[in-house]
Structure 1
């Protein structure tokens, strides 16, 4: 009998990674949520794509405004309005400024943005009421990410934030690992499906549904093989089939010491190597974990 922590460690050590060549598939970005990235992603785009403003305010030359104060404001001529998505037409000359909005492209000649709250506008002139820092509120091209370098590494799970980054990088299709296939079946003459009417002594096979939900939640693909009667021939046939089609096989029932618990004997007859027979916990003490020599699929 092994402890719960030791059993967990044994099972995790038995797990074999998917093959980085055979087990990859291409998926669209909208279907990539919760998948595991198989190939590192790069982008031909810089982030940001261009120098842009991080604030609503005025694009200026730092040299012009470095000594500004409320008592002695710098007065600049506004030569252009630059909203987001607009390509600036002007080059900012000494004594000039451009009205700029968050996300908009910094015009040529400007190197600093003065936030709106530290200015006062009168017609086509702006009064700079406080000295900014050099390059303040300017997000520089490629300061977050440089084109051609690794954007996301292989092996990470793609969640909402990663999906957003990939969309911004214009990556419509990705290479991800296929979902591990997990075969699930339950054993016991007393079990019935949820559609069947209960007879005396019978119980509904709820374990199969719970296991399927947990498998989906973990990102794998459940393969439901139904209920198998307490018959050695039937059990051996189902287990052999499950091992052939799945990476992992989950069997609910049949591994205790009762007269109708056949699973362990069948595993041995199929040349499986048994790593765990029981775990030090209640309930759940009977737990068989085995691997097969060809597929090395753990079979709890």
Structure 2
């Protein structure tokens, strides 16, 4: 059987980045920059007031105090947004609001709290030093400075800076587009009355959420029966729309394995991976209407098992880290922790086991949660971690340390 590490490398090689693209600021949030950003202008753009108050010549109020105030005539009123150029004459003051442009000649701003808030004349009750409460042009950003780096996540703060610099777009790594497809003639949509032998489809909903949580986009979540022709027809309906196709079901060793039947001619490598759950796996590239032709890159496809726990655990182990790495997102892997096991567990020899668990970070302990079988979805829905048990370990006793993946 293929090892977990080997299959991780195969999947990672298939999931690659899209070319860099320039997008509007509103569409760049959460993406990774693909190019440095240099400031086209300085910030602040002009000298401005950091307070609501009065622009003055500092020397005119050097001796002002509560007991000996200085009274100055108010020559101008400067709200934020005033665009004409003003000059402050010695021995006068301009009433000024926060963010408003400082008049030429002014060297300080006296906060309104240190005055009588006069309109025609103002009583200054505190001295001001040169530069006090003044935001100088370029003190935050100098034009030409690199302010955002390639590889940096576009956060709300980064968007705010880009907008303040007058930028309308950023060059980023686009989100990968993923088609999530469930297979199985037994599957029906929620809201449909179940007939004997039918179950509600859940894998596509679950994996689509996992894809979005990983930072990628979901193209669609179609379902196909176990008929090969229908499977191919559904798949062809999304030609050119996805960078990656994820299927669930149809990859085991029995009859009616529609994915294996459709791509068993070599386009997809179907293997057994030494893990539990999730042993049957597949990965490869397909063309628009089937196996990729010679010399054609095709579309990457990852085929996951159909049992829901196997499908989601397989996504966590193989697909999620490769998706995030291809999009340049930090920490592609889930955080790894070491914890003390609270109960005994057994694991199959020769397979890496991923057990559902509940991790208590305050106590530093972890408890296995639910049976190991791959159809027990209830337990996975309430677990906050996966215990990773190595291939050569068959028993772990309570009190021993184990490795876990933090899903919280």
TM-score range, shorter chain: 0.7 to 0.9
CA contact (8 A) 2:183 2:258 kept: no
CA contact (8 A) 1:11 1:289 kept: no
Gap runs ≥5 in structure 2: 286-291, 305-408
| Cα distance change of structure 1 residues 117 and 17 upon mapping to structure 2, 3 Å threshold | farther
Q: Any residues of structure 2 matched to 1:1-300 within 5 Å, and which? A: 13-14=12-13, 16-19=15-18, 23-87=19-83, 89-121=85-117, 124-194=120-190, 196-224=192-220, 226-230=222-226, 246-256=242-252, 258-261=254-257, 263=259, 269-272=265-268, 277=273, 279-280=275-276, 284-286=277-279, 288=281, 290-292=283-285, 294=297, 297=300, 299=302, 300=304
Give 1:255 deviation, angstroms.
Answer: 4.1
CA contact (8 A) 1:277 1:289 kept: no
- Which is worse superposed, 228-237 or 68-77? 228-237
| Cα distance change of structure 1 residues 259 and 172 upon mapping to structure 2, 3 Å threshold | same
| Cα distance change of structure 1 residues 154 and 203 upon mapping to structure 2, 3 Å threshold | same
Gap runs ≥5 in structure 1: none
CA contact (8 A) 1:247 1:295 kept: no
CA contact (8 A) 1:276 1:290 kept: no
- Normalised by the length of structure 2, the TM-score is 0.58
SS in 2 for 1:208: helix
Q: Distance between the aligned counterparts of 1:129 and 1:260, measured in 2? A: 89
Of structures 1 and 2, the one with the larger relative CO (CA 8 A, separation 6+) is 1
- Cα displacement string for residues 98-141 of structure 1 (whole angstroms, at most 9, x for unaligned residues): 11111110111112111110122556332322233431221111
- Which is worse superposed, 94-103 or 237-246? 237-246
Q: Distance between the aligned counterparts of 2:119 and 2:138, measured in 1? A: 35
CA contact (8 A) 1:278 1:288 kept: no
| Cα distance change of structure 1 residues 220 and 18 upon mapping to structure 2, 3 Å threshold | same
Give 1:213 deviation, angstroms.
Answer: 3.7
Q: Distance between the aligned counterparts of 2:23 and 2:38, measured in 1? A: 17
Give 1:71 deviation, angstroms.
Answer: 2.3
C-alpha RMSD of the superposition: 3.9
- Which is worse superposed, 114-123 or 289-298? 289-298
Q: Distance between the aligned counterparts of 2:171 and 2:187, measured in 1? A: 41
Give 1:80 deviation, angstroms.
Answer: 1.7
Q: Distance between the aligned counterparts of 1:111 and 1:77, measured in 2? A: 17
- Normalised by the length of structure 1, the TM-score is 0.76
| Cα distance change of structure 1 residues 143 and 275 upon mapping to structure 2, 3 Å threshold | farther
